[in-house]
Amino acid sequence: MNLNEFCKEKALEICAAQLHLPSHEICIITIYRSPSGNYQYFIHKLETILNMLYSNSVEIIICGDINISYLIDSTSKRLLDSLLASYGLHSTVKFPTRIQNNSYSTIDNIFIDTFKFSNFTVYPSINGLSDYDAQSIILHKILEQNSNTYIYYNRKIDKWSIIDFNTKLIYELWKDIFTENDVNTIFNNFMNSYLRIYHSSFPHQKSTSQIVQESMSNPRN
């Protein structure tokens, strides 16, 4: 889903993807807003986008770094809450997402329709790669399960794969990192090398399990 026409440096960087599930059509919107960006532009364009995408048949989920702290009350927070509430969207992250020295804030968030998706779990995902924690959300009982076989993917992480990972990190030359001067290029080069090693040592593996799951159409849910 192309939303490039609405992007403006610092004020709003946005993209979206649509998921076609057996029981739902879900539009996931990711956003970044710089703290120095034009807030009125952000609010105005976000409203335009939501008005364009909103439909009774499509569920919208918004996530990202909006640089508006949800641990304190502010005019910016009230304006955003008011806009999103008009589309049935509400904040789900109630814990700090950035902790540094003696300060903490919740400037990253996930917004969903908490009436339709009342059964959900949100938790921080600490990866050690940034001063921000990632956030993960689980929407329970969203899929209609037509069979008792569930396919999922995970990573093989055990004693030997961790040894392999550490060994590859030790022998990595990191030559593309220290030859650059631009901090963004240095970081991108580091991440490329790090993730290449990570995916090599901890590959995805496909698994299946036998489960019993009730359908969303079950009136007892």
Instruction: Give the pLDDT confidence of 118-149 residue by residue, as tens digits.
Output: 899 998 887 666 667 788 899 987 765 555 55
Q: Are 87 and 56 in contact (CB under 8 A)?
A: no
- Domain containing residue 121: CATH number: 3.60.10.10
Q: Which of 94, 93, 105 is nearest to 132 (CA)?
A: 105
- Residue 121 is predicted with a pLDDT of 92
pLDDT of residue 47: 95
Of the residues 139, 166, 200, which one is the last residue of a structural domain? 139
Judgement on whether residues 118 and 161 belong to the same structural domain of the protein = no
Do 111 and 154 lie in one domain? The reply is no
Residues 129 and 165 in one domain: no
For residue 199, what are the domain limits?
149-210
Does residue 94 fall inside a structural domain?
yes
Residue that wins the pLDDT comparison between 26 and 185: 26
Indicate if 112 and 182 belong to the same structural domain: no
134 occurs within a structural domain: yes
Domain boundary pick from 139, 174, 195? 139
Q: In whole angstroms, how far apart are CA 25 and each of 58, 142, 219?
A: 5, 11, 21
The reply to whether 9 and 43 lie within a common domain is yes
Q: What is the pLDDT of residue 150?
A: 60
Domains of the chain: total:
2
Contact present, 45 and 36 (Cβ < 8 Å) = no
47 and 128 assigned to the same domain: yes
118 found inside a domain: yes
- Check whether residue 123 and residue 177 sit in a common domain: no
Residue 158 lies in a domain: yes
- The CA distance from 55 to 87, in Å, is 10
> Residue 89 in 3-state DSSP?
coil
Residue 216 lies in a domain: no
Whether 184 and 105 map to the same domain: the answer is no
Residue 209 has pLDDT above 50, yes or no: yes
The Cα–Cα gap between 45 and 6 comes to 7
Per-residue pLDDT reduced to its tens digit, 60-104? 999 999 999 898 899 999 999 999 999 999 999 988 887 777 777
pLDDT band at 186 (very low <50, low <70, confident <90, very high): confident
What is the structure's pLDDT at 211?
Answer: 46
